[in-house]
Amino acid sequence: MTVFNDRTSALSLLLTRRSAKARDLAGPGPSEAELRQILTVAARVPDHGKLAPWRFVIIPQEQRDAFGESLVASLKAEKPEASEVEVEAQRQFARQAPTMIAVLSRVKQDIPIPAWEQELSAGAACQNMLLAAHALGYHANWLTTWPAYSEKVVALLGGEPGDRIAGFIFIGTGTRPDEERPRPNLDAITTLWSPRG
């Protein structure tokens, strides 16, 4: 068991994580070694059955425009009535932040581990990416929007039929002052169980 001598800073990391807007993220972004650390942390999530029910797809900077055009083609094929604003939004989506990672949820069917648990593990992988990015001093943002719900985009990412996109994680350096948002009132979401009926 690892003992954290610096519990205060471990907790302060967790207590200070907040999202920045992906569109406000500029360089510097994580180095290759840092990105590997972020992915290593992401792959350390609870995983019932040790299935590794997630895949990480890095979309490198030099491929962003190509990825954006592929998103546009997929959108037009799926939704021919898409407006020019929606089309342009795909290009902009793909251009955000120095680092962009798609997280695929890959659920194994017909095994005793429920799909729900495998999907939760993919969410945990996304969250761990955000935390690792924060620990390294970067800002990050977990986004979905239309591309995350398109089977065509799953295929674009090299996913298998049935894979779902848990999200796109954007990482970089914020260009605006951090903004805190009101956090849920713990007393409103926490109860002490007592027997009912």
Contact residues toward ligand FMN (CB under 6 A) are: 18-19, 141-145, 167, 181
Min separation Cβ 144 and ligand FMN, Å: 4
Q: Which is nearer to ligand FMN, 23 or 152 (CB)?
A: 23
Q: Which is nearer to ligand FMN, 18 or 91 (CB)?
A: 18
Min separation Cβ 27 and ligand FMN, Å: 21
Min separation Cβ 122 and ligand FMN, Å: 10
Q: For residue 85, which of 101, 72, 103 has the smallest C-alpha distance?
A: 72
Q: For residue 97, which of 148, 23, 192, 157 has the smallest C-alpha distance?
A: 23
Min separation Cβ 192 and ligand FMN, Å: 26
Q: Is 6 left (phi over 0), alpha (psi -120 to 50) or beta?
A: beta
Q: Which is nearer to ligand FMN, 153 or 196 (CB)?
A: 153
Q: Which is nearer to ligand FMN, 79 or 111 (CB)?
A: 79
HSE, side-chain direction, 13 A CA sphere, residue 60 = 4
How far apart CA 101 and CA 153 sit, in angstroms, is 13
Q: Which is nearer to ligand FMN, 30 or 167 (CB)?
A: 167
The residues near 69 (Cβ < 8 Å, ≥ 6 apart) are 91
Min separation Cβ 132 and ligand FMN, Å: 14
Cβ–Cβ under 8 Å, residues 75 and 90: yes
How far apart CA 31 and CA 171 sit, in angstroms, is 11
> How many residues make up the chain in this entry?
197
